[in-house]
Amino acid sequence: MSTDTVQVLQSDGFNKSRWTQLPRDVLIGHQAILQLPDIIADIRPGRSVLIISGGTTREVAGNAVEDILKDSYDVKRFVAGKLDTTTLEACSQASLSADFLIGVGGGRVIDCAKIVSYKQGKPFISVPTAASHDGIISGRATLPTEAGSVSVGAHPPIAVVADTGIISQAPHRLMASGCADVISNYTAILDWELAHRLRGEQISEYAIALSKMTAEILVKDANLIKPGQEEAAWIVVKALVSSGVSMAIAGSSRPASGGEHKFGHALERLIPGAALHGEACGIGSIMTMYLHGGDWREIRSSLARIGAPTTPKELNIPDEIVIEALLKARDIRPERYTILDMGLTRESAEHLVQMLYEA
Ligand SMILES: NC(=O)C1=CN([C@@H]2O[C@H](COP(=O)(O)OP(=O)(O)OC[C@H]3O[C@@H](n4cnc5c(N)ncnc54)[C@H](O)[C@@H]3O)[C@@H](O)[C@H]2O)C=CC1
Ligand SMILES: O=C(CO)COP(=O)(O)O
Ligand SMILES: [Zn+2]
């Protein structure tokens, strides 16, 4: 390095720096997948693509994406049945001959594409088939492991193509779950602020403001979120994107994942597949909002208006398992300090679950 450069680099002691990664193109709207060729032409990621989808989502949109691209690109496909290390390894192998990846599906498929993209250093495009989670643009991936879910570093997608027609035709339960994922931002923020006050954890006011505003706008528009409506898909996808941007600004999932998410991850381990990700986090958020002394009834009524569950009974989950998940939450990602890490007892956990059924 030349002395001129060293002089330019001198500073007054301020040494903070943050690299924020965001997608380059975000396209949301009616028949958006038809514009995939334009998006790819804009990015120029190469000529061969691996389309990653799930068993169901391949039928829903994976095949259509393949059809749209097959005349101009060398297309291969990979079906990710579940998200585990074996699948990730197989997907990584399948990606070796591809220049770029497209993840077409729900949260697990997109996280699979995100992790493989990061490991292989290849760009990926996110094509969500459901508005069920706010990971559609985030640079983090959630990986279930034996020891519980871990949030792993990944690349955000280079582009997001969210087709509101496809998304509106997904089961409403998925969209309601995505709304619950966003509504749970209210308590994620309270937990982050708590960790800041109690533990000196660094917070980002910008990330907090965006995450909170996103939840507020969604709750304000709750009456428009109806099954089968493309406008509803439009509203919810925008909220999911906005929530994802808050995570990108924070450089972690903190503004969108607190104790209610630790509870959700614990519940998923205890009774896999009984609740969708956002459903579990929504119920968790009612309980942690109560512990924060906030308006937990407002969280509950917002979830109910959107059609998301507010009690374990609606998901056929025994109350006892929810109590266990509340107590186990502290073992999930212990470095993430939340209201559930403050010595919750079994009695208070039992009370929290009873409270969910209160009129
Ligand atoms: N990376 C991040 O920042 C985030 C990651 N996540 C992760 O995402 C996952 C949750 O995502 P979900 O989408 O709820 O779960 P998921 O990916 O398991 O999908 C749920 C179900 O919906 C089906 N599905 C998707 N689109 C459909 C459609 N159009 N029609 C019919 N069925 C359709 C799928 O086949 C699957 O059976 C969790 O693993 C969670 O931890 C969630 C939020 C943020
Ligand atoms: O789900 C998330 C935000 O909604 C983020 O996931 P983690 O809880 O795995 O960090
Ligand atoms: Zn979430």
Q: What is the pLDDT of residues 219-236, one digit of tens each?
A: 999 999 999 999 999 999
Same domain flag for 204 and 258: yes
Q: Which of 71-75, 125-129, 150-154, 233-237 has the lowest mean pLDDT?
A: 150-154
pLDDT of 158 higher than 90: yes
Domain tally for the chain?
2
Same domain flag for 138 and 209: no
Same domain flag for 213 and 190: yes
Order across the sheet with 48-53: list the strands: 25-29, 159-163, 124-128, 100-105, 48-53, 74-79
Task: Tell me whether residue 172 is annotated as binding.
Answer: no
Structural domain includes residue 5: no
Closest alpha carbon to 245 in 220, 210, 218: 210
Whole-angstrom Cα Rg for the chain: 21
Same domain flag for 340 and 290: yes
Considering the chain, what percentage of its residues have pLDDT values greater than 70? 100
Q: Give the residue, out of 242, 261, 265, with the most ligand 2 atoms within 8 A of its beta carbon, to mutate for a pocket test.
A: 261
**How far is the C-alpha of 286 from the C-alpha of 119, rounded, in Å?**
37
Cα torsion angle, 263, 269, 275, 277, sign:
positive
Q: Which of 3-12, 63-72, 239-248, 255-264 has the lowest mean pLDDT?
A: 3-12
**How far is the C-alpha of 327 from the C-alpha of 323, rounded, in Å?**
6
pLDDT of 216 higher than 80: yes
Structure confidence at residue 149 (pLDDT): 73
Structure confidence at residue 154 (pLDDT): 85
Structural domain includes residue 12: no
Identify the CATH number of the domain in which residue 249 sits. 1.20.1090.10
Same domain flag for 159 and 178: no
pLDDT confidence band for 341 (50 / 70 / 90): very high
Domain stop point among 168, 199, 222: 168
Q: Report which ligand 1 atom has the smallest distance to the Cα of 247.
A: 3
Please check whether residue 77 is in contact with residue 126, taking contact to mean a CB–CB distance below 8 angstroms: no
Amino acid identity of residue 329, one-letter, is A
pLDDT of 316 higher than 80: yes
Please check whether residue 103 is in contact with residue 79, taking contact to mean a CB–CB distance below 8 angstroms: no
- Long-range contacts made by residues 350-359, C-beta under 8 angstroms, separation at least 24? 350/323, 352/287, 352/290, 352/291, 352/326, 353/287, 353/312, 353/319, 353/322, 353/323, 353/326, 355/287, 355/290, 355/296, 356/283, 356/286, 356/287, 356/300, 356/310, 356/311, 356/312, 357/311, 357/313
Structural domain includes residue 289: yes
* Mean of the per-residue pLDDT values of the chain: 95
Domain stop point among 150, 168, 186: 168
Same domain flag for 66 and 151: yes
- Write the pLDDT tens digit of every residue in 11-50: 788 888 888 999 999 999 999 999 999 999 999 999 999 9
**How far is the C-alpha of 173 from the C-alpha of 54, rounded, in Å?**
18
Which residues approach ligand 2 with their CB closer than 6 A? Answer: 134, 140, 142, 149, 151, 181, 253, 256-257, 261
Structural domain includes residue 29: yes
pTM over 0.90: yes
What's the domain range around 306? 172-356
- Write the pLDDT tens digit of every residue in 272-298: 999 999 999 999 999 999 999 999 999
Task: Tell me whether residue 336 is annotated as binding.
Answer: no
Measured in angstroms, how far is the CA atom of residue 142 from the centroid of ligand 1? 11
Which ligand approaches the C-alpha of residue 172 most closely? 1
